[in-house]
């Protein structure tokens, strides 16, 4: 039994996952997520056995999705994702947080070792959210896949997909597609050398 860590991220054409706050465009205004794309997110998220999130990603998610579950003014696909995120088992990787709700366990010290143990004892795909934790998993040989939704925008600066890597990243294309009506492409890659 071996689980697989899948780093899932929305990115710009120039490989950024978040613009710098100094541009005045911090947040998600640059993302082109329409209903067909969000339904694809829902389908893929529902198929994962759990998720691992860094503190920044987790706090963005917990600020919105639990309330979205019961927001009758929200479209059904947003309410659905609210249920998926809230109900799915999650691991929050954080040294600063000591409590979390919504089916969440916190890994603080020795998080990487605990994630390695989880990967060897669990099964299914485990979603990974956050560049810091994804980089640590990658450098440890524990990241199995990238699932990238590429939005047709060039941010020019901002947070990159990964922090500094120990060596170049070699990938093999597993799947590609286009979702929604706004030209968002998807590329799913296997990471060569994952142990």
Mean pLDDT calculated for residue range 61-74: 95
Predicted pLDDT of residue 1: 66
In the chain, how many domains are there?
Answer: 1
Asked, for residue 157, whether it belongs to a domain, the answer is: no
pTM, whole model, 2 decimals? 0.93
Of the listed ranges 15-24, 49-58, 97-106, 124-133, the one predicted with least confidence = 15-24
Asked, for residue 21, whether it belongs to a domain, the answer is: no
CATH number at residue 54: 3.40.430.10
- Residue 61 domain boundaries: 1-6+50-151
Asked, for residue 125, whether it belongs to a domain, the answer is: yes
Predicted pLDDT of residue 22: 55
The string of pLDDT tens digits covering residues 77-120 is: 999 999 999 999 999 999 999 999 999 999 998 999 999 999 99
Using H for helix, E for strand and C for coil, what is the string for the chain? CCCEEEEEEEEECCCEEECCHHHCCCCCCCCCCCHHHHHHHHHHHHHCCEEEEEHHHHHHHHHHHHHHCCCCCCCHHHHHHHHHHHHCCEEEECCCCCCCCCCEEEECCCHHHHHHHHHHHCCCEEEEECHHHHHHHHHCCCEEEEEEEEECCCCCCCEECCCCCCCCCCEEEEEEEEECCCCEEEEEEEECCCC
Predicted pLDDT of residue 25: 45
Asked, for residue 86, whether it belongs to a domain, the answer is: yes
Asked, for residue 79, whether it belongs to a domain, the answer is: yes
Asked, for residue 13, whether it belongs to a domain, the answer is: no
Asked, for residue 192, whether it belongs to a domain, the answer is: no
Asked, for residue 23, whether it belongs to a domain, the answer is: no
Mean pLDDT calculated for residue range 37-59: 96
Mean pLDDT calculated for residue range 4-32: 84
The string of pLDDT tens digits covering residues 121-146 is: 999 999 999 999 999 999 999 999 99
């Amino acid at each position: 039994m071996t689980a697989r860590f899948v780093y899932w991220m929305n990115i710009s054409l120039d490989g950024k996952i978040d613009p710098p706050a100094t541009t005045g465009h911090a947040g998600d205004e640059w993302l082109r997520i329409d209903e067909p794309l969000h339904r694809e997110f829902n389908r893929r998220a529902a198929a994962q056995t759990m998720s691992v999130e860094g503190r920044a990603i987790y706090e963005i998610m917990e600020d919105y999705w639990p309330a979205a579950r019961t927001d009758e003014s929200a479209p059904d696909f947003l309410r659905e994702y609210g249920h998926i995120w809230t109900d799915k088992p999650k691991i929050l990787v954080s040294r600063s947080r000591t409590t979390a709700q919504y089916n969440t366990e916190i890994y603080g010290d020795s998080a990487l070792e605990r994630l390695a143990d989880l990967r060897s004892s669990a099964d299914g795909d485990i979603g990974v959210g956050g560049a810091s934790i994804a980089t640590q998993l990658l450098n440890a040989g524990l990241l199995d896949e990238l699932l990238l939704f590429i939005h047709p925008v060039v941010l020019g600066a901002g947070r990159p997909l990964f922090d500094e890597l120990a060596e170049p990243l070699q990938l093999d294309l597993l799947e590609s597609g286009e979702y929604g009506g706004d030209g968002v492409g998807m590329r799913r890659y296997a990471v060569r050398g994952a142990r």
